[in-house]
Amino acid sequence: MRRFTARALAALAIVAAPIAAHAGEFDGKWKGSAGSWQVELLVQGANATLTLQCNGSFGNTAPFTFDVPVAANGHFDAWVGGAGTFVRRNVTGNLPTFQIPPGGECGGGTVTLQRS
């Protein structure tokens, strides 16, 4: 078993503090909508799962799920869509607000997410 000195543990606490602060600020489930898109974002630290579902005039699509990175300040910028889903779009913003570019049957717009 490896033992750490008090000095090593203190250094670890200093490094871990910013990580812990980032982990809690935006963590959780967020929901919102833009155009015909229903949006859910599940944030866990620097990682998030973005789920988009279009409720267009032609009916509802299956939910599309993407992994997106989230910065400590809540900013994210990710390309989603493509093969087997919908035309690629760059979703970007600062939590709790981000943009879905317009286009297609589902449209786009500003999403203001609410914690759920």
Other Cβ atoms less than 10 A from the Cβ of 59: the count is 8
Q: What is the pLDDT of residues 53-78, one digit of tens each?
A: 998 777 788 899 999 999 999 999 99
Residue 11 three-state SS: helix
**What pLDDT does 23 receive?**
57
Structure tokens at 99: 């943009």
**What pLDDT does 31 receive?**
98
| Residue 20 pLDDT greater than 60, yes or no | no
pTM for the structure as a whole: 0.76
Query: Is the distance from CB of 35 to CB of 89 less than 8 angstroms?
Result: no
The CATH architecture annotation of domain 6-115 reads Beta Barrel (2.40)
Query: Is the distance from CB of 96 to CB of 84 less than 8 angstroms?
Result: no
Domain boundaries defined on the chain: 6-115
